[in-house]
Structure 1
Amino acid sequence: MLTSIPHITKMLLIVTVVVAVLGFTDPVRETKVRVAPESEVVISGTTNVNEFTCKYNLQELELPIRLTYDEKAELIQFKNAQLKLANDCFDCGGKAINKDFRELLQTKKHPQVELRLLYVDPPKPDNQQIGVGMEIKIAGVTRNYETQLYCEQQGNNICVDGTIALKLTDFGLEPPRKVLGMIKVHDEIKVKLALRLNEI
């Protein structure tokens, strides 16, 4: 039995070297991107009498965002590609509607909306559409979504555009009523992304 221990140790060493050489571990890469000022993140919705649009002040996102991702055969999987959007930085066009919007999102308990990129299905030749998996957190409730976005890359600049439809009730939020119940916010809202990302 004692004579077999060096043999086992030698075999384990060989296996470790082979795994490292053949690259069986996931190829993890990192990069940094900056969100350009012309980018937009907009939450919009409708009521039974009008519509509303709440635009995010992207000056809050001036610092570079570090991305860590694994390049797979079919999907590019991201580990920490996340936008944290403070509810107070959404402007809906007036103090009253801003207050209503922040109350709707339960800002005192949950001050941020979080968008997290999970994976990207790279575009096919001659097609700028990409399949995207996203995690969206609103009012402390997280939901996963699959959608299609348009993506165009020019050098180190990446443009991503698209709209994601959500339901307030999916996040445990009750569409509010105003003016003695005569004005009702509809359940569906839309998150529009127009991101101009500069790799640095």
Structure 2
Amino acid sequence: MKRLLYILPLLLLVSFTKLDTVKNSTSVRITSQSELHIKGTSNVTDFTCQYNIKNLNDPILIHYESDADVIKFEKSLLILENSGFDCGGRGINKDFHGLLKSDIYPKITLSLKQIKLKPNKSNTADASIEIEIAGQKQIYHMETKFYQDNGWHISGKLKLNINDFDLEAPKKMLGLIVVSDEIEINFKLVVKEC
């Protein structure tokens, strides 16, 4: 009986510490109104590699835990096939896939880790995302905007350095054309629950 008196307060304490935490799972679909592209620059011109959103027609399973203004995610992955990017021409597509080592690593994986709502900015959140490119993983933090209107509209841009993934920017014409190490990922996603 004495043992029960010691365990009971401990159980009560543990049960109330996560009282406002909710664990959920849901499936979402990225609609055809969405856009995703990568922008880069060289010493000659800029380029944009557009992703074919039709490649994202499978439902995406999201596991999350909500606690006040923070949402934590587990196993919530967006997988982009490298072959889904079109940079506007055969030559630049070949260079882009060479840069990403698409023959060995045919996919880019985005894993949503956490979203923290910004109370002082409406419809704005800080997102933590783990990105895997060419077998290397890095975690990035970015500001995203969102609103709900016939689905969730989520937008943002993320600048990253390809050297973070042990990638080397291609050089053309004996080094006369040099591509910048920095690229920018832009997205405007329209997400609906399945």
State TM-score, norm by structure 1: 0.87
Q: Is 1:167–2:161 an aligned residue pair?
A: yes
Question: SS of the residue aligned with 2:76?
Answer: strand
Pairs aligned (count):
193
Once the 2 structures are TM-superposed, how far is the Cα of residue 150 of structure 1 from its aligned partner?
0.8
Q: Please, which of 53, 74, 94 is the counterpart of residue 89 of structure 2?
A: 94
Aligned-partner residue type, residue 73 of structure 2: F
Q: Aligned partners of 1:184, 1:63: CA distance in 2, in Å?
A: 37
Residue ranges of structure 2 left out of the alignment (5+ in a row): none
Question: SS of the residue aligned with 1:33?
Answer: strand
- Number of the residue aligned with 2:152: 158
- 1:29-40 to 2 correspondence within 5 Å? 29-40=24-35
Distance 1:12 1:57, change over 3 A: farther
Q: Is 1:181–2:168 an aligned residue pair?
A: no
- 1:33-182 to 2 correspondence within 5 Å? 33-124=28-119, 127-154=122-149, 157-182=151-176
Q: Aligned partners of 1:91, 1:101: CA distance in 2, in Å?
A: 9
Q: Aligned partners of 1:129, 1:20: CA distance in 2, in Å?
A: 32
Once the 2 structures are TM-superposed, how far is the Cα of residue 15 of structure 1 from its aligned partner?
6.1
Distance 1:70 1:182, change over 3 A: same
Q: Aligned partners of 1:125, 1:199: CA distance in 2, in Å?
A: 27
| Larger Rg computed on CA atoms | 1
Question: SS of the residue aligned with 1:38?
Answer: coil
Once the 2 structures are TM-superposed, how far is the Cα of residue 91 of structure 1 from its aligned partner?
0.7
Q: Aligned partners of 1:12, 1:32: CA distance in 2, in Å?
A: 42
Question: SS of the residue aligned with 1:45?
Answer: strand
Q: Aligned partners of 1:24, 1:128: CA distance in 2, in Å?
A: 26
Aligned-partner residue type, residue 168 of structure 1: I
| Percent identity (aligned) | 33
Distance 1:180 1:15, change over 3 A: same
- Number of the residue aligned with 1:194: 188
Q: After superposing the two structures, state which structure 1 stretch, 10-19 or 143-152, moved more.
A: 10-19
State TM-score, norm by structure 2: 0.89
Question: SS of the residue aligned with 1:27?
Answer: strand
Once the 2 structures are TM-superposed, how far is the Cα of residue 154 of structure 1 from its aligned partner?
2.8
Residue ranges of structure 1 left out of the alignment (5+ in a row): 1-5
Once the 2 structures are TM-superposed, how far is the Cα of residue 27 of structure 1 from its aligned partner?
2.7
Q: Aligned partners of 1:167, 1:125: CA distance in 2, in Å?
A: 30
Once the 2 structures are TM-superposed, how far is the Cα of residue 65 of structure 1 from its aligned partner?
0.8
Q: Aligned partners of 2:18, 2:114: CA distance in 1, in Å?
A: 20
Q: Deviations over 1:48-86 (max 9, x none)?
A: 001111111121211111111011234110112211101
Q: Aligned partners of 2:17, 2:25: CA distance in 1, in Å?
A: 17
Report the aligned-residue RMSD: 2.1
Q: Aligned partners of 2:9, 2:165: CA distance in 1, in Å?
A: 48
